[in-house]
Amino acid sequence: MVTAGVTHATAPSGWGLPHTRIGSVPVFVGSAEAAVEACISKLRDRAGGRVATANLDFLAVARRDAEARRLLETCSLVVADGAPVAWLAGFQSRQRVDRLAGVDLVDRLLAFDSRPIRLAMYGGEESVSQQAAAVLQGRHPHVTVVERISPPFRDLTTEERHRERERIRSSEADLLLVALGFPRQERLIADYYDCAPNALWLGVGGTFDFLAGRRSRAPGPLQRLGLEWTVRLAQEPSRLWRRYLLRDLPEAARVTAECLVTRVRS
């Protein structure tokens, strides 16, 4: 269903929240408060769901990868992680769209109230995951980290996958944070979702590194200007220059043109 540039993306748990399509990616149309409240509601009700935090790289990858598109289209909620994605979604939908980075979503979700939350964490190096868990439990005393899995940097065997699934199932987690980067984390969430269908699953990218202090976030003014990527590039130039300069910036130009055409037609 499409109305005034806003679509309702397919959702495995039927959240039915309004999304607009930017390039190949559905993006939630609404405020950060509305997104957090929706997540809290599902968390309290043990209703389950899959949440993605989309930046420009999501758009670039999804344009070329049919599986990545499918994974995002079947999420319960896809929020705009990057400022450019929020701007484009707001421009196209003519409605308010807030940026909500993965690390901010996690903190706001856990700070929303003081009800006990059983938290599981998947991804990151063991030391990083451990530090991030300590930070989250220090900030939010009502949170108990009941499971942490730091997978090896290779494809898992069938036996290893089976053990991971059992660990997640046994944890009885309310909230699962998966930090593998897109689309690996969305793929794992979709594959493992049946282990904890009543839990809220979040793909959170580099959140563990930020929480553990391994990476620094850009100052507020740069974030508001959509230039946080420049700080990330300065921190990890050899790893990120191709992604940002050869993939994400061309994608930004492409989707901006597409949004202009869509706005004119609508």
Which pLDDT tens digit goes with each residue over 186-236? 999 999 999 999 999 999 999 999 999 887 676 777 677 676 767 666 777
**Residue whose structure tokens are 């959509």:** 226
pLDDT for residue 214: 82
Residue type at 75 in one-letter notation:
C
pLDDT of residue 259: 79
Three-state DSSP string of 201-258: EEECCCHHHHHHCCCCCCCHHHHHCCCHHHHHHHHCHHHHHHHHHHHHHHHHHHHHHH
- Tell me the backbone φ, ψ of residue 217, rounded to 5 degrees: -85, 155
How many Å apart are CA 205 and CA 177, to the nearest integer?
Answer: 9
Q: Which residues of the chain have pLDDT under 70?
A: 1-14, 216, 218, 222, 225, 227, 229, 231-233, 240-241, 244, 246
According to the model, what pLDDT value does residue 237 have? 77
Angle value at C-alpha 199, between 140 and 125, nearest 5 degrees? 65
Per CATH, the number for 2-216 is: 3.40.50.10700
- Which pTM was predicted? 0.85
Q: Where are the domains of the chain?
A: 2-216
Between 66-73 and 184-192, two packed helices, what is the crossing angle to 10 degrees?
60
Least Cα distance to 121 among 212, 30, 18 occurs for: 212
As separate numbers, helices (DSSP H) first and strands (DSSP E) second, the chain gives: 13, 10
Q: How confident is the model at residue 218, as a pLDDT?
A: 61
202 with 123: CB under 8 angstroms?
A: no
